A and B are shown apart, each in its own frame.
Chain A
Amino acid sequence: MLSEVITGSEGGEGFVLIKDCVQCGGRGLLKSFIKAALLRNETVHVFEFEISQEEMYSGLTDGTSSSLVFHNGYTDPLNWISNEKPFDFSIQSIKSQIDQSKDKESEAKNVILVLDSLSWLLHHIPITDVCQLLQEPKRKESTVKRIIALMHSELHDQGIVGSVSHMANTVVTLSPIPEFTTVNWEVDPYAIGETVQRKKSGKVNREEECYTVQKDFSLIIHHDLHNRKQAIPKPDNTAQVDPAANLTFNLRLSEEERHAKERLSLPFTFSEKNQKMDWESIVGS
């Protein structure tokens, strides 16, 4: 299901949210989405706030593609550096920058909007403005066909995470591979992605897949995660040594030995024979 969401074969419209965590980052997956869109010759606007342009472009594009429009919100988003061009990340500014690449011939929506990251925006603009932006694919006049946003779950209140997730058509939540999975993989798995897709009909599809993003940002799905979940194998049991062999004493008594033992009267016990303690036999004469 994750592959279909990336290739956009399910209509590909609306808002896709990638929620990552500290153990497994979602940027590899985000770039996988971007790569797939570029291969389909779609116009991709990347609003980047967390890494440099070189890092974002690395492996994805050599920078010559006109389909990829990079908006640099990393170098100086807050206008602290005097000789850098200030970056306006207000919602109006983002919308106007996207509108500049409107397809004048047709009215078709043609822009894929990528936000890296939505977390950065949520910390710097009111959530109401952010939600307005996330509604863009639904607006008829807008050029935005699809929004793909990366969000770091631990950096926000659960309420905000929930509200934003609720607005999404598709939510991909990443979690780390469980510890007990064995390591016989041809390609090392990266993380588990749970994809929840809400269709227009109201139907909700959910699938959990183990995936790896390759260096060329193509996606590999590992299909047999459950089969590979094995308990840690027990060490080989060497031939069991019988600990009761070769003892210098008897572990068991034969019938005669048991009777003899029961008949024996112990010197320090009272019996008909010993009316008082026989100290001499205890201590020795």
Chain B
Amino acid sequence: RSPELLFYVDTTEQLFGQCVLLSESKTDGSFLIHHFLSFFLKAQCKVCFLGLVQSFSHYSTVAREKGQLVFFEGLRNSLDMLLPESDASDAEPQPLSFLRWPSTDLRNLFDFVNSSLSQSENDMSRWASPVLLIDDLSVLLSLGVNPTAVLDFIHYCRMAVCSKQQGNMVTLVHNEDDLGDEDCDLVLHALTHQSSLILQVHGLNTGYCRDVHGQIQLRWKDKFQLKRDHTHVFQYKVHDKGVSFFAPGTSSAVL
């Protein structure tokens, strides 16, 4: 079975209500975000994308229909928050309000996600289940948000998207377990407990390689915690137009 198919899940049943965790360690895992973005757009899902680290143009090459993708451009919005042009912006709750008042929660950000993905009658006939993509969650911790507030935000997203609407959610976090960053570790462990599919992306221990960019471990968890996790390991190479996956040691450069 080709590795790409494994990503795309076996049956349509598995396409619903999945909470997917992408963790990147010593490498850039955002190619997976691109991968999932095009996959879900092709599958006719309505997508809410919290792009907190890249501008929209970075992703805009992906084909989509009008109204299918709600892109929240964190970089531009944060600037508007920190340097407001007028006081009128205070009237409406802002998704990134925590930037000005760091001790508060991420409720406004959740409200933005919830309203973007609540399906009206029209939407329900037009789009398949809703999808939330977050790139990436660790930046919220870097901005000073309390890890419990981050976890509460994820809790509500998972409740609203995965449980209530049987949609899917894909979250990217950094995994720097050798740094001893307790906040990062807490968020990573909590999400590992809650997620149904975990993709861990590692750079190769031997360093940079032209033909093999890294290794990825897929971990499928049993929904009811009655069976042990299923794991698969692949290596990958990122191309201009996508990614290729292959079993370890079978890179086309080697064979």
Contact = CB atoms under 8 A, between A and B. Distances in A.
Interface of A: 20, 22-28, 31, 50-52, 54-55, 58-59, 74-76, 78, 80-81, 123-124, 152, 154-155, 176-177, 188-191, 212-215
B53 interface: no
B226 interface: yes
B194 A50 contact: yes
B189 A152 contact: yes
Nearest to A58: B224
B79 to A, nearest CB: 26
Given A80-B110, A124-B148, A152 B193 contact: yes
Contacts of A28: 224-226
Interface in B185-199: 185-186, 189-190, 192-194
Give the top 8 A-B pairs by smallest Cβ distance, nearest first. Answer: A25-B225, A154-B189, A28-B225, A52-B163, A22-B192, A27-B225, A28-B226, A123-B148
Interface stretch (B34-42, B57-65, B81-89, B151-159): B151-159
A162 B241 CA distance: 51
12 contacts: A22-B189, A27-B225, A59-B224, A78-B152, A78-B156, A80-B156, A155-B186, A155-B190, A176-B228, A212-B226, A213-B225, A214-B226
A267 to B, nearest CB: 51
B227 interface: yes
B228 A75 contact: no
Interface string B127-151: 0000000000000000000001001
A24 B105 CA distance: 30
Nearest to B194: A50
A22 B105 CA distance: 26
Interface in B219-248: 221, 223-229
A215 B223 CA distance: 12
A51 B192 CA distance: 14
Contacts of A78: 105, 107, 152, 156
B114 to A, nearest CB: 8
Max chain A Cβ within 10 angstroms of own Cβ: one of B190, B226, B227:
B226
B227 A52 contact: no
Contacts of A27: 224-225
Contacts of A52: 159, 163
A25 B222 CA distance: 10
Contacts of A76: 159
Nearest to A75: B159
Contacts of A190: 226-228
A58 B223 CA distance: 11
Contact of A155 (B107, B156, B159, B189): B189
